[in-house]
Amino acid sequence: MDEDKEYSFLDLTIQLALEGDTGAGRQQEKGVSNVQGDYQRYYVFLPDQHHQYAFEEQRIMASGQPLKGRLVSRLRFSQLEHIPVILSTLRQQACLVELLQSCIRHVAPTDLSNCYHFEVVLLSDILLIVYFQHPLTENLMCLEVDMTKPTGPWCRLSARPNDTIICTDEFLSSVLQRCLSLPITLRALLRCVDKIQDPSHNSCSSEFQHPSHNSFSTS
């Protein structure tokens, strides 16, 4: 791809994800694209859950305009004080791309009867939102992911006032900062429902008791 050319951010992210789908860190998750109407749908198969992620081009926006992107191999700077700002921006962008690409896989779906459905919306280049149905009700809820925190991406779970609280923002943030994967983070959220329904079930916390926060430490 040409570094001098501007691309749709969504198309660029998807193409790079599919090109590197067999790379390190992708062995446990598999999926495939399926364009349906205005949506591009991708399927991620985890050991105990199947997820469908829908991306809509018109909703990948920033400041009311379609979000654009381009490949960058080097950045010029004239003052040393520019470096911390550049590094912070690059960390945020790398984190955003990694989270989006964690939802994009090659393998075709087989049985979608027990598939969880998520819609991914990018409100800006630092704010990602995932919409889905509350596991215990039919109400819509959302997971907001903020890329600006110095410790890494931060989660905020929003639901209707009367809906059951599934887990804390701190728990989801710790999971996401450790794995940088939306499917794994949402899997952890959904497994917390088991603990709500059966208090003796320990699936909500056993896998991520001591997350690492070192990957996004500030300079």
Q: Render pLDDT for 24-82 as a digit per residue (tens, 0 to 9).
A: 334 344 444 456 656 788 899 888 889 999 987 655 565 566 778 888 888 888 889 98
Amino acid at 116: Y
From the list 92, 199, 75, the residue with the least C-alpha distance to 145 is 92
Tokens of 56: 């809509």
Rounded distance, CA 189 to CA 183, Å? 10
Rounded distance, CA 143 to CA 154, Å? 10
**Number of other CB atoms surrounding residue 139 within 10 Å:** 11
Q: Which of 1-5, 96-100, 101-105, 127-131 has the lowest average pLDDT? A: 1-5
Residue 210 has pLDDT above 60, yes or no: no
pLDDT band at 178 (very low <50, low <70, confident <90, very high): very high
Pinpoint the alpha helices (H) of the chain.
Answer: 9-19, 82-101, 169-179, 182-197
Tokens of 41: 């749908």
Higher pLDDT, 151 or 182: 182
Tell me the mean pLDDT in the region 184-193: 93
Total H helices, total E strands in the chain: 4, 10
Q: Which of 33-47, 90-104, 110-124 has the lowest average pLDDT? A: 33-47
pLDDT band at 215 (very low <50, low <70, confident <90, very high): very low
Tell me what pLDDT residue 211 has: 37
- Give percent of the chain above pLDDT 70: 75
Please, which residues bridge with residue 8 across strands? 68
pTM for the model stands at 0.79
pLDDT band at 122 (very low <50, low <70, confident <90, very high): confident
Tokens of 196: 């709500």
Tokens of 69: 């992107």
Tell me the mean pLDDT in the region 1-20: 79
Rounded distance, CA 107 to CA 119, Å? 19
Residue 174 has pLDDT above 90, yes or no: yes
